[in-house]
Structure 1
């Protein structure tokens, strides 16, 4: 008899907020450009560390000069969590995303750190109609030794989002990719609770375990593999049956 030991696989999480059917506690700034936000999608494959993001605005909006800064957290709103999470500055006009260590302050000044950016993603942002999106591999970013509690971009069973965006942004850069200046009238769309309901995707053949936060696969087609003592007892029982048959 043989069996395959159980294994845990990292799942992928995705969160969607729709204007027409709001799902979750997303706090959108009133009387501002934030009211043009139609759909927000955030995802993270925790096995590959690929972060996906998409912001769709109402038809007719021009997003060619938009900009944003984004912090995502596995839990509550990231505001106040310093030196643990990455802040991503998005320059839609130039398709560039620049990552720094978020200083936890309710302001955009993390880019003014005296060090070079943690990561620069060129040609990362895709524009289509009134939607911009990106998909970046955050493996190297998350693996940096920024501090003892560094997590980079982090999404799990819950999500906290600090997303500020503008329709009139302008960025300039130094030769090393560091932001030299940035401007714009930024508005917010943030989560204020423990996150919004999300969808968990597991690889084929695995199921999600909410206790461990992993996708689990079992051996023997999902059945339990007997312990050695159980196998010995099974063998003994078969032997007794065989002996009884010979006596008959």
Structure 2
């Protein structure tokens, strides 16, 4: 059974969620192997810190990460520079080559960033009380009084239960937003548990900023201008060596 949030994301993005057959681990081999590769080659180089990493610093415990943005930057660089170009032992192809070959006679459909962001929000169904309030994860919110006694869908960011929560009526139509009244929990319980799991994890670091080096190579490959060897040759021709003045 898929997690409710995953099922919602796939439905919003038009992704068909395919499950492997029960009691047949062979069907999950590829994704399990990918997770193992990410854990051993990427996460093993990560050290979590509360202090943002300063440019030019070289922490002794590998690549220090203090935010999701930093983690995503390093992961994107690792995927593009290392994982995509490593030949798989079973397929004999790199992941990038195999992916590109699978699109023959097909065209990928790109979604706007806002559509993708909305798809990754979570949602829950609640019944509105007679006083026009709803309860969500130990918090109380106020909605349109006209919704009293009906069921509504609350769409929210699990990392920010204080933020904007969109309300849809029982027909799925927009019905305003939920106003916070009594907030006792600021993030979803699953988010809190994920942070605790991360705090208890221990990584053995090589002492080398491997991922920072990869990220630097990735930035250079995206922004560096091509070298004009013709211009270099022309500059060398125009160089004239001035003779030293004779000492008196």
- TM-score computed with the length of structure 1 as normaliser: 0.21
Structure number with the higher strand fraction is 1
> Structure with the greater relative contact order (CA < 8 A, sep ≥ 6): 1 or 2?
1
Structure exhibiting the larger radius of gyration computed from Cα positions = 2
User: Which structure features the higher share of helix residues?
Assistant: 2
